[in-house]
Structure 1
Amino acid sequence: MTSLDPAVGGPASLSPDLSTSLPPTALPPVAPGDAAPAAAAGTPRPRLLPGILSMSASAGGSQLGAAIGTFAYPAIGVPGVVAVRQLVAAAVLLPLARPPFRRFTFAQWWPAVLLAVVFATMNLSLYTAFSRIDLGLAVTLEFLGPLSVALVGSRSVVDLVCAVVAAGGVYVLVLPGPSTDWVGVGLALLAAACWASYILLNRLAGRRLPGLQATATATTLSALGYLPVVVVLAVHGRLVGTPLLCAVTVGLLCSALPYAADLFSLRRVPVQLFGVFMSVNPVVAALVGLVLLGQVLALHAWVGIGLVVAADVVALVVAARRRRTPLAG
């Protein structure tokens, strides 16, 4: 849900290319190939502060939006919140990307269609998880998606340790027992699987469609898929007042704000710093859940979140160094 992580091009070439790993719940700021030039251009150190403030706004806004969305669940349900969120996201991206739909080839259409399915499934599963388990728990489990992509196939001892630490962190975080909401945990893990799929598909779609066209197309198709939900809710007079305001706020805070903030940040901070900084999103989610929703996490949950975040940060840093090493040689 927030805004993050590794590029996909083979296990040995994974690095924090944010353009291919930002969660669809917080729309990706740039398409593959756009982030690297922005970062490579370099910026003076005095400009780091605006970038850091922008990243903070992105992370905080995304988690705040997710929390606000829960207030609309009783009136319009999770599908209603997701539907409005997708429509707002499409309204933000379409004017920016202006994808030429009529000129798309089959090779361009099918990755975008699969991305749309991933977007729709990820948002629905994650937001449903929010309705069943704590925000911090759900977001932390979701982060296993990009982390798994970074680690799968690696033979590095450090990556193996990161995988073990992350697995241990999940166990400590969930601490399975009779009261565990396995449906909520399973939905958050489904969102993680969707995020991993998104990374792979976005890399492919980004090669075939320039700029934000793939993301805009997928978001629009996903919004069209949810359009019947909006129509039904509107016909029954449920999409009004506070529930509608909450759902629109979700769209703005989880799509429009992260898009603008992350694009601004990637022009001012190195991509690696962006990835590491945004890895604290599970912590931000837990804090937002505590303050706004009154979700008090047990000590073991905080320890689990810390372990997963630490594994993610180390994996990002190691992957970035591994990618730079061949170039240096």
Structure 2
Amino acid sequence: MHFAEASPARTLWCMQTTEHAHRPVTTSAPVADNGGRYAGIAMMLGSGLSNQVGAAIGSLAFPVIGPAGVVAVRQWVAAVALLAVGRPRLRSFTWRQWQPVLLLAAVFATMNLSLYSAIDRIGLGLAVTLEFLGPLAVALAASRRLVDLGCAVVAAAGVVALTRPQPTTDYLGIGLALLAAVCWASYILLNRSVGRRLPGAEGTAVAAGLSGLLFVPIGIVVLVENPPTQAALGCAAAAGILSSALPFLIDMLALRRVPAHFFGIFMSINPVLAATVGLVFLGQTLQASEWLSIAAIVTANIVSVITTSRQPRV
């Protein structure tokens, strides 16, 4: 997740806003009372803060082991956590089931490495906001509604404002964040395929495990060339727990208390949380125009999800 790594729960709203939604969306149970809704809101806020604080803490290790070293450790922690939750039965997998899982593993690895490399270059808030375009694109792609076209135009204007050419513009950092956005969109589509072919979180767990294996040689090379300190390893491991394991579990609990479309709307606060955490924890300041751009992208998503959720089901 989400944003540094999206869990299956985090992608339910994106699946719901396309024309080909599938069964896992129904895991969001009806809300019985306001108390349950408020508890769900508190959980979602906690999940978002955990995700972004984890990414901020992980970035503290960049000077010692670099983004690749942090992502390697983070992927290993995430793999252990998701395999423990998913408990996949590997011997029962068919080749048809393995195909999307292998692709999902490659997307996992690329998504997190590109995002953390972008955070290192352009800051947490801007990187997460640009990555956020991935799920927004998926939500808008299947629609032919005029309101969604308007949302796409607003989001595009926000991106142009964020990435406007300047002498100090880090085009590589922007490109890495956009690559992360493409990977997140791919994750959503692949996770739908995995969800159709494998029960529960088995496919996602295996993909996380394979992604962790992909980072074994990378992690060894990076950590040998850049001997880590205990503090750096602790920051990287904290990123794995706070940005993967903890949000995964919290999101699953939150979706029992709030509808999936409401989850999707609230998810839009994450770029704002990322910018705020970057400011408070890392001293990464944003200009007023950048805050307005983030607000435009978030607003485009909220409008798209709200109007989609009001459409009659067929």
Question: Aligned residue for 1:321?
Answer: 310
Distance 1:313 1:243 in 2: 37
Question: Aligned residue for 2:235?
Answer: 246
> Residues 10-44 of structure 1, C-alpha deviation per residue, up to 9 Å, x if partnerless?
95456xxxxxxxxxxxxxxxxx63441332x4332
- Measured after TM superposition, the shift of residue 66 of structure 1 is 0.7
Q: What are the equivalent positions in structure 2 for 1:52-91 lying under 5 Å apart?
A: 52-91=41-80
Question: Aligned residue for 2:275?
Answer: 286
Question: Aligned residue for 1:38?
Answer: 28
Choose the corresponding residue for 2:203, options 214, 218, 227.
214
SS at match of 1:295: coil
Question: Aligned residue for 1:126?
Answer: 115
- Measured after TM superposition, the shift of residue 236 of structure 1 is 5.9
Q: What are the equivalent positions in structure 2 for 1:1-329 lying under 5 Å apart?
A: 1-2=2-3, 4=10, 6-8=13-15, 11-13=18-20, 33-39=23-29, 41-233=30-222, 238-322=227-311, 325-327=312-314
8 Å Cα contact 2:28/2:258 also seen in 1: no
Distance 1:58 1:7 in 2: 17
- Measured after TM superposition, the shift of residue 173 of structure 1 is 2.1
For residues 234 and 196 of structure 1, do their structure 2 counterparts lie closer, same or farther at Cα, with a shift above 3 Å needed?
A: closer
SS at match of 2:313: helix
8 Å Cα contact 1:63/1:285 also seen in 2: yes
> Residues 212-250 of structure 1, C-alpha deviation per residue, up to 9 Å, x if partnerless?
001101000000000123334555682341000000000
8 Å Cα contact 2:40/2:254 also seen in 1: yes
8 Å Cα contact 1:233/1:239 also seen in 2: no
The letter for the 1-side match of 2:293 is G
Distance 2:68 2:123 in 1: 19
8 Å Cα contact 2:107/2:183 also seen in 1: yes
| Structure 2 residues without counterparts, runs of 5 or longer | none
Distance 2:96 2:25 in 1: 24
Deviates more, 1:165-174 or 1:203-212: 165-174
Deviates more, 1:236-245 or 1:43-52: 236-245
Deviates more, 1:249-258 or 1:270-279: 270-279
Distance 1:237 1:179 in 2: 28
For residues 173 and 233 of structure 1, do their structure 2 counterparts lie closer, same or farther at Cα, with a shift above 3 Å needed?
A: closer
> Residues 154-183 of structure 1, C-alpha deviation per residue, up to 9 Å, x if partnerless?
221100000000001111222322211000
When normalised by structure 2's length, the TM-score is: 0.93
Distance 2:142 2:197 in 1: 26
Alpha-carbon RMSD: 1.8
For residues 277 and 153 of structure 1, do their structure 2 counterparts lie closer, same or farther at Cα, with a shift above 3 Å needed?
A: closer
Deviates more, 1:268-277 or 1:2-11: 2-11
Moved over 6 A (4+): none
Identity in percent: 51
Distance 1:236 1:326 in 2: 56
8 Å Cα contact 1:38/1:267 also seen in 2: yes
Distance 2:207 2:132 in 1: 21
8 Å Cα contact 1:174/1:301 also seen in 2: no
When normalised by structure 1's length, the TM-score is: 0.88
For residues 296 and 220 of structure 1, do their structure 2 counterparts lie closer, same or farther at Cα, with a shift above 3 Å needed?
A: same
- Measured after TM superposition, the shift of residue 148 of structure 1 is 0.7
Distance 1:246 1:267 in 2: 31
Aligned residue pairs total 307
The letter for the 1-side match of 2:313 is P
Distance 2:224 2:167 in 1: 41
SS at match of 2:200: coil
